[in-house]
Structure 1
Amino acid sequence: MLTGLPRTIRRHELRLIVPLADSTIYGMEKRGEFPRRFNLTPRCVVWDLEEVEAWLEQRRQTYLAGRAKVAPGPDVRHRKARPVKAQEADI
């Protein structure tokens, strides 16, 4: 195996490493929140594996430090099927 050389990954390999939708990754790239893809040929798009691994590690450290944005859970009181009724303490 070659060592010390930059390694690129294609889309199917990226999906195995980063389980996000293509549209999510594309949007994050446009906002500068994810490593940018580049074309090797007009039909071959790749990412730098080292950049992707560094991004993952940075995200992990942000989460462990408690600085990650986490989406709130759904408000189950607004469900159409089996809504949870407000209790006296919630009112």
Structure 2
Amino acid sequence: MGIRPLTTTDLLVPGRVLIKRRQLLQKVPLCERTILDMEKRGGFPKRFTITSRLVAWDLAEVDAWIAAQQSAALPGCAPGAKKSTS
């Protein structure tokens, strides 16, 4: 499924904050299926396996992904935005 387990190095990173699925879905307005597909393609931060029934994402990685999406967005190119023909 592409879920990466926490490594010893991951556990030693100070200040790491992990968010659960519900928190991720509040922060990123995409459906779970879209997020999973993007993870598989390498276009979204990978989840961590916490237990056999719990996964989480690194908040800093998710925030960095959001910032990258904002930087890549072109002004006036929002869905439904009309192009001006001056």
TM value normalised by structure 2? 0.70
Deviations 1:27-65 (A, max 9, x none): 000000000001111111000000000000000000047
Is 1:49–2:46 an aligned residue pair? no
Is 1:12–2:35 an aligned residue pair? no
Partner of 2:71: 61
Question: For the residues of structure 1 that align with 2:60 and 2:40, how far apart are their CA atoms?
Answer: 19
Question: For the residues of structure 2 that align with 1:17 and 1:48, how far apart are their CA atoms?
Answer: 12
Structural RMSD (CA): 2.2
* Structure 1 segments (4+ residues) deviating >2 Å: 70-73
Q: What letter corresponds to residue 25 of structure 1 in structure 2?
A: I
Question: For the residues of structure 2 that align with 1:64 and 1:49, how far apart are their CA atoms?
Answer: 25
Is 1:21–2:26 an aligned residue pair? no
Partner-residue secondary structure (3-state), 2:55 = strand
Gaps of at least 5 residues in structure 2 are: 1-13, 82-86
Partner-residue secondary structure (3-state), 2:73 = helix
Offset at residue 72 of structure 1 (A): 7.9
How high is the sequence identity, in percent, across the aligned residues? 43
Q: Which structure has the bigger radius of gyration?
A: 1
Question: For the residues of structure 2 that align with 1:9 and 1:21, how far apart are their CA atoms?
Answer: 16
Point out which structure has higher relative CO (alpha carbons under 8 A, 6+ apart).
Answer: 2
